[in-house]
Structure 1
Amino acid sequence: MTGAMIGFLFSSGLLLVISGWARTRRPSLEQRLAPYVRDVHPYVLPRAHGAGVAGAVFGPSIRRTSEAIGDLLGGSASVSRRLVRLGSTTTLEDFRIRQVMWGGTGLAIATAASALLWTERGTQVPVLLVFCSLGFVGGVLACDSNLSSRVAAHERELQAEFPVVADLLALAVAAGESPVSGLERIMAVCHGALSDELARVVADIHTGTPMAQAFDALAARTGVTSIARFAEGLAIAVERGTPLVDVLHSQAADVREAARRELIEAGGRKEVAMMFPVVFLILPITVIFAFFPGYIGLHLTSGT
């Protein structure tokens, strides 16, 4: 009876694993349609539904844990907004699952450290449990902080690329091209975060979205004020037929002036910090170089 029970449990588990694997191998409607629309909309990407057997076995539990974390932390609107500003194809659910993974990593590290403390120093179990809980919470918060830092770096890259893109678009429009043709020409010669955002705009236009609405969507999803004004100006120009060349040149000049002002302000804020290497490193070495030959000469004179 024991052998029969073990065989029954093993066969049931094997059937569950195989059925879950078969469900994950079945392509979804999005995955079937993506190869046919990717040529007109390159940002249509198939979502990854789990990782084979592991996704089928542990996916539901991880998804429930991620939903619980989302309910406890709140801020789902903030996370969604940051994902949109990053231009990522990751959904809110995928990000919550990634937070669970980071939290599990922090929990594993804290558990290993707790086991070491318990065996070496005999630390009390409640303290170790609190330490493990802090490890899980720290991993979750570290994932959120990593997203914020990625968004900030992405927006700095967008702001750094904007003056060049605005000048190139102004030259293309002044040469007689339409804004969309100018954007396509820019995408052919520029590669970066801003060109990727403009590629999304052009892809939306090619798939039937009105031009003004595509530019308004760019202004709504970006967190950079200058790029939002740029997209709104393009949308107004397309709707009303206003001139673009002077507006684009003035926006590029404003962004360059703002970058120069921010650099001067950053230097002013770090002026005190820059005094530390001067006072504690460069100045002592200069004094040593100035007085060391005299000290050696006095030492030789006193010795003779």
Structure 2
Amino acid sequence: MTIDPFIVSAALCAALAVGTCIWLAWTGIDPVRRGAQANLRRGGVTLVAATSGQSTTAPNVSLSALAKRMTPALVVRVLDRQHTLAGRPGAWTVEKLLTLKLSWLVIAGAISALILFSGPPPLLAMMTLGVFVVVYFLPELLLNSEGTKRNQQIELELADTLDQMTIAVEAGLGFDSAMARAAQNGKGPLANELVRTLQDIQMGNSRRQAFEALTVRTTVVDLRRFVRAVIQADAYGVSIASVLRTQADEMRLKRRQRAEEKAQKIPVKVLAPLMLFILPVIFIVVMGPAAINIVDSLSGM
């Protein structure tokens, strides 16, 4: 008697889903642990349990908190990092994405249990398992794509923004006022990040701390280089106008080089559709009448 490997894998998936749900329910109904975690987050000293053994504070556990507790810490950190790089979209918060992951995990477990009793072909089972994994990590993939687009927009806007800041500083404005003017006139992710940086400074953070937080929220190399130059100028007393002028010239040069690089890649990218779609049609149009005439001549002989 041979054991189908698909049945074994489906049984493992179903057992894992059921075990996870049981563990989630067990940890979710523990009032002492919930009260302790709530006190630690709040920083208070409220007693967790009274003498009778009952909790004095038993807050309701939301689905997002359960989803965060269920999801591995590494997945939560990666999702939070991707969410930060994507600009923290308000429509899709980390808690909402974790809740969707939890819902999909339960649905996938139920589907795996149904597949276990249906006995489909092994290839279809492997494809279904692959779909489960891809859908589970779909939020990370979408956030990564959005973060890449956002970084590209920042790279395009950086040179023009630095030009505006250079003109404002040379006209007599301070660095913070010039950055506020550029953020007010600009639109896009870079302007939003400059506004966030100014808000951090207004909240009491130093300029170094605010700009270091800016480098954490984005992965644009040029922006990080500009931030390092500003921090060094602020530390050593270098003229900020000369730093801005140098950085603006460098950013314009790099933007021109990136445009030239993309232009040089166009012939290579066009080659594949040219060979697959355009040249066969040209051959049919050119060689088609000649082939028809040859066939007619041979049939008339």
Shorter-chain TM range is: 0.5 to 0.7
Aligned mate of 2:181, from 157, 181, 185: 185
- The answer to whether the aligner puts 1:69 opposite 2:71 as a matched pair is yes
User: Quick one: structure 1 residues 135 and 285, their matched pair in 2 at CA, closer, same or farther if it must change by over 3 Å?
Assistant: closer
Give the Cα separation in 1 of the matches to 2:144 and 2:232: 31
Give the Cα separation in 1 of the matches to 2:89 and 2:139: 17
User: Quick one: structure 1 residues 290 and 89, their matched pair in 2 at CA, closer, same or farther if it must change by over 3 Å?
Assistant: closer
Partner amino acid, structure 1, of 2:213:
A
Partner amino acid, structure 2, of 1:59:
S
Q: 1:231: how far off?
A: 2.0
Give the Cα separation in 1 of the matches to 2:251 and 2:150: 16
Give the Cα separation in 2 of the matches to 1:162 and 1:279: 38
Are the aligned partners of 1:85 and 1:151 in contact in 2 as well (CA < 8 Å)? yes
SS in 2 for 1:158: helix
Alpha-carbon RMSD across the aligned residues, in angstroms, is 4.2
SS in 1 for 2:88: coil
User: Quick one: structure 1 residues 104 and 151, their matched pair in 2 at CA, closer, same or farther if it must change by over 3 Å?
Assistant: same
User: Quick one: structure 1 residues 183 and 275, their matched pair in 2 at CA, closer, same or farther if it must change by over 3 Å?
Assistant: same
Partner in structure 1 of residue 85 of structure 2: 85
TM-score (norm 1): 0.61
Give the Cα separation in 1 of the matches to 2:259 and 2:275: 23
Partner in structure 2 of residue 251 of structure 1: 247
- The answer to whether the aligner puts 1:227 opposite 2:223 as a matched pair is yes
C-alpha distance after superposition, 1:167-207 (max 9, x if no partner): 11111111111111111211221111000000011112222
Partner amino acid, structure 1, of 2:225:
R
Partner in structure 2 of residue 174 of structure 1: 170
Q: How many residues align?
A: 240
Partner amino acid, structure 2, of 1:68:
M
TM-score (norm 2): 0.62
User: Quick one: structure 1 residues 136 and 296, their matched pair in 2 at CA, closer, same or farther if it must change by over 3 Å?
Assistant: closer
Partner in structure 1 of residue 97 of structure 2: 98
**More divergent stretch after superposition (186-195 vs 231-240):** 231-240
Are the aligned partners of 2:67 and 2:102 in contact in 1 as well (CA < 8 Å)? no
- The answer to whether the aligner puts 1:202 opposite 2:198 as a matched pair is yes
User: Quick one: structure 1 residues 63 and 217, their matched pair in 2 at CA, closer, same or farther if it must change by over 3 Å?
Assistant: closer
Are the aligned partners of 1:237 and 1:243 in contact in 2 as well (CA < 8 Å)? yes
User: Quick one: structure 1 residues 270 and 191, their matched pair in 2 at CA, closer, same or farther if it must change by over 3 Å?
Assistant: closer
Are the aligned partners of 1:219 and 1:227 in contact in 2 as well (CA < 8 Å)? yes
Identity %: 22
Q: 1:84: how far off?
A: 3.6
Give the Cα separation in 1 of the matches to 2:152 and 2:162: 16
Give the Cα separation in 2 of the matches to 1:138 and 1:287: 41
User: Quick one: structure 1 residues 159 and 118, their matched pair in 2 at CA, closer, same or farther if it must change by over 3 Å?
Assistant: same
